[in-house]
Every structure is written in C-alpha cells, then in structure tokens.
C-alpha cells in the first residue's frame, strides 16, 4: 500500500520492536497479489495472499484464473484473499461480485489454500453462497469480522477463524466487542488491516503492523486474560489457520 511502501524498513523495524514477528500482506487484485508475493520473497518475515477483492471484482476469464492459480502455487503464498462481497461500498455490481467470489472459491479448493474473506454488509448472501463451497475449502478467515454473534456462530460451525481488527477498540463497537468476548480462544485472530482502521490510541492515523499490539491488549481486557496469553494464542491460531511453519521464517533467513 502506498501509505506504507515508502518506509518499508521502518514499518518492519517498528513491527519487530512491538513483538510482531511475522506479517501476512494482502493481494486485492492481480498486480497487488504479484507485489505481495515479491515482498514475501524478499523478506522471510512476510507471507502473501493472492486474490481479487470485491471492490476490484471482474468476470475472471481463463487467463486471469490461470494467473491466480500460478500465484497461489508459489511457496510464499499462504491463502486466497481478500475475496468476498462488499455491499457497503458497492464498487462493483453485486452480480459481478458474487460471480468473482464463486469462481475464486473454486480456485481456492483447487489449490487447497485457506480463504481470507472480506464481507461487509453482505452476510446474508455470504451465508447462502458459502454453503456450496465450505466443505471443499482448506479453511477460512473472516477478516475484519463485523457480523453479529449469530453470524459468528455460523462461521465457527464451518471451521472458520474470526479475525478482529482495531475497530474493536472504538467505544461504539459493542457488537464486535461481544464477538471478541465470546469467540472460542482457539478461533480468534487479531489483525491490523493496515493502512486502515488504526486502533485507539492511534485512531485516524495510518495504521501499521506494530499497532496490532493495541488490538491484542483490548482483547485481553475484554476476555479477562493477560496480553501474553492473547498474543500466544492468536499467534498459534494464525500459524494453524495459514499453515505457517512452527518456527516462523527465521530459520531460513
Ligand atoms: Zn478487507
């Protein structure tokens, strides 16, 4: 993302200082998926995803699907995503979003990678569509989960993880806080969604990986446990969700 790209070394140094050992960086279309892979190939602490975001949805032809498969089969690519439905912004027609989503769910099953879901104001259609595919997927992560506890239970039943962003620190995030409180400890993730959604006390600033520690602190407060417990649990969950090597990337450095 241009907000962070100008100071990559600084971003990574501040993340390391905040205890963020590894980072998954996200593709939102084919060029950014290629860029994410490039970053992951240049730095053992970074992993990549490949996918077409609902904002950038288009009817995936054979060439685009082939390129996505090629990217997904690279060693440093750990998930298909972000893919899904966004009816809040509606940047693309809903029929196009749904078609692009379905096609990528097929591809995710084909390459046996977990899926990073971006779903906003579209949980009803998401639940309709995902029923057809969930049985064939190698897992999934509800990125920036903003649904109700009922939707959370549906996702948990499918074996998916709930990923909580910095917005959980906002005073008016009651529903998200409820989900963060009630979610089983072994299905909870924290994320930045950087450069967006910076948590309190950095709200309104450019978000960066180091700030995920604020979100983890809020989760510890909500769940009545220690920061260390949340950090350890969510790190272990992320390793499992994305199939990361147990010792991180450091042994290969
Ligand atoms: Zn997203």
Q: How far is the CA of 16 from the centre of ligand 1 (A)?
A: 24
Q: How far is the CA of 227 from the centre of ligand 1 (A)?
A: 25
pLDDT digits (tens, 9 = 90+) for 40-66: 999 999 999 999 999 999 999 999 999
pLDDT digits (tens, 9 = 90+) for 106-165: 999 999 999 999 999 999 999 999 999 999 999 999 999 999 999 999 999 999 999 999
What is the reported pLDDT for 5? 84
Q: How far is the CA of 252 from the centre of ligand 1 (A)?
A: 30
Of residues 88 and 3, the one with the higher pLDDT is: 88
Q: How far is the CA of 251 from the centre of ligand 1 (A)?
A: 31
Q: Which residues contact 2 (CB under 8 A, 6 or more apart)?
A: none
CA 37 from centroid of its chain's CA atoms: 15
Q: How far is the CA of 50 from the centre of ligand 1 (A)?
A: 13
- Joined together, the tokens standing for residue 69 give 């498969």
Q: How far is the CA of 54 from the centre of ligand 1 (A)?
A: 9
Q: How far is the CA of 118 from the centre of ligand 1 (A)?
A: 5
Report the mean per-residue pLDDT for the chain: 95
Average pLDDT over residues 192-203: 95
Percentage of the chain beyond pLDDT 70 is 97
**CB-CB neighbours of 189 under 10 Å:** 23
Q: What is the CATH number of domain 2-246?
A: 3.20.20.140
d(CA 36, CA 199): 24
List the chain domain ranges. Answer: 2-246
Whole-structure pTM value: 0.95
What is the reported pLDDT for 244? 95
Q: How far is the CA of 70 from the centre of ligand 1 (A)?
A: 23
Q: How far is the CA of 144 from the centre of ligand 1 (A)?
A: 7
pLDDT digits (tens, 9 = 90+) for 59-105: 999 999 999 999 999 999 999 999 999 999 999 999 999 999 999 99
In degrees rounded to 5, what are phi and psi of residue 60? -70, 115
pLDDT at residue 249 tops 50:
no
Q: How far is the CA of 205 from the centre of ligand 1 (A)?
A: 18
Q: How far is the CA of 136 from the centre of ligand 1 (A)?
A: 23
Q: How far is the CA of 249 from the centre of ligand 1 (A)?
A: 25
> Which residues are placed with Cβ below 5 angstroms of ligand 1, an ion?
82, 118
What is the reported pLDDT for 248? 53
Contact between residue 224 and residue 144 where contact means Cβ atoms under 8 Å apart: no
d(CA 247, CA 244): 8
Exposure string for 201-221, b = 16+ CB within 10 A, e = fewer: eeeeeebbbbbbbbbbbbbbe
pLDDT at residue 1 tops 80:
yes
pLDDT at residue 31 tops 50:
yes
Q: How far is the CA of 45 from the centre of ligand 1 (A)?
A: 21
pLDDT at residue 251 tops 50:
no
At residue 252 the predicted structure's pLDDT band, cuts being 50, 70 and 90, is very low
Q: How far is the CA of 119 from the centre of ligand 1 (A)?
A: 8
Q: How far is the CA of 81 from the centre of ligand 1 (A)?
A: 9
Q: How far is the CA of 193 from the centre of ligand 1 (A)?
A: 7
At residue 247 the predicted structure's pLDDT band, cuts being 50, 70 and 90, is low
d(CA 178, CA 70): 40
Q: How far is CA 190 from CA 34, 68, 85, 215, 241, in A?
A: 25, 26, 21, 7, 12
Contact between residue 138 and residue 108 where contact means Cβ atoms under 8 Å apart: yes
Exposure string for 238-249, b = 16+ CB within 10 A, e = fewer: beebbebeeeeb
pLDDT at residue 14 tops 70:
yes
Average pLDDT over residues 34-38: 97
């Amino acid at each position: 993302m241009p907000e962070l790209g100008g100071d990559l070394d600084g971003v990574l140094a501040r993340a390391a200082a905040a205890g963020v050992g590894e980072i998954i960086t996200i593709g939102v279309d084919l060029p950014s998926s290629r860029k994410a892979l490039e970053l992951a190939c240049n730095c053992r602490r970074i992993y990549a995803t490949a996918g077409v975001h609902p904002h950038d949805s288009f009817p995936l032809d054979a060439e685009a699907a082939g390129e996505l498969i090629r990217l997904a089969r690279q060693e440093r690519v750990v998930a298909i995503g972000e893919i899904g439905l966004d009816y809040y912004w509606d940047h693309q027609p809903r029929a196009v979003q749904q078609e692009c989503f379905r096609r990528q769910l097929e591809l995710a099953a084909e390459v046996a990678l977990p899926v990073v879901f971006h779903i906003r104001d579209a949980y009803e259609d998401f639940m309709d569509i995902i029923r057809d595919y969930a049985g064939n997927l190698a897992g999934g992560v509800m990125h920036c989960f903003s649904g109700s506890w009922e939707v959370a239970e549906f996702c948990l039943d499918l074996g998916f993880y709930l990923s909580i962003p910095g917005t959980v620190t906002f005073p008016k995030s009651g529903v998200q806080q409820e989900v963060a409180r009630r979610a089983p400890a072994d299905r909870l993730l924290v994320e930045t969604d950087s450069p967006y959604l910076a948590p309190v006390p950095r709200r309104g600033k450019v978000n960066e990986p180091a700030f995920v520690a604020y979100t983890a602190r809020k989760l510890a407060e909500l769940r009545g446990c220690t920061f260390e417990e949340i950090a350890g649990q969510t790190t272990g969950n992320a390793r499992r969700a994305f199939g990361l090597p147990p010792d991180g990337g450091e042994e290969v450095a």
